[in-house]
Amino acid sequence: MIILIAFLLIVASILLLFVFLTFAFLAIDVFLDLPFVGARSQHVETIIKFAQIKKGESVVDLGSGDGRLLIAAAKKDAKAIGYEINPFLVVLTQVHASLKGLAENIKVRKESLWKADLKVADVIFVYAKRKTMQKFEDFVYKNAKKGTRIIVNTNPFPNKKPIKFENGIFLYKV
């Protein structure tokens, strides 16, 4: 009986620690330029449609969150590269990629998206708060190669005209 109670206390402690860490990471996200907000499935469909990913292309997701866009890109045979500073979301992406058999096509770098190598990207995914979109616009247009397709979710670039927009998704080209 004492062993059972000890076991249950250990399990409960682990669960509470997991819940605490999850909320701590989410609370920190609120203060970042790029908080985690999972893309809705209808947005994912539009983003992938706009991206027109071809087999073997490289896709970079700036702030890849739980990896749902990386997984969708990898399903199109892309080399998907995510930049995510939240270690919980990096692990979550890696687990999902492994479970879906896509780990070989998905790499998540636990580092600032501002260090992203955009020269390798054929497609770039961007989501940010409205107040930081100018910073993202400058960063992408300064560092991406000519011809790169940029798909922006929700908040458009302030000084560039999109080629196409639908369902809150905006397509640009460098």
DSSP string, 12-60: HHHHHHHHHHHHHHHHHHTTSSS---PPPHHHHHHHHHHHT--TT-EEE
Residues 6+ positions from 43 with CB-CB distance below 8 Å: 153, 167, 168, 169
Tell me the Cα Rg of the chain. 18
Q: Is the dihedral of CA 84, 88, 94, 97 positive or negative?
A: negative
Give the tens place of pLDDT for each residue, 75-105. 999 999 999 999 989 999 999 999 999 999 9
pTM: 0.78
Q: Of all residues in the chain, what percent carry a pLDDT higher than 70?
A: 87
The answer, yes or no, to whether residue 116 has pLDDT greater than 90, is yes
Q: What pLDDT is stored for residue 5 in this prediction?
A: 82
Question: Which amino acid appears at position 151 of this protein?
Answer: I
What's the token pair of residue 46?
């539009």
Stretch 38-54: mean pLDDT = 84
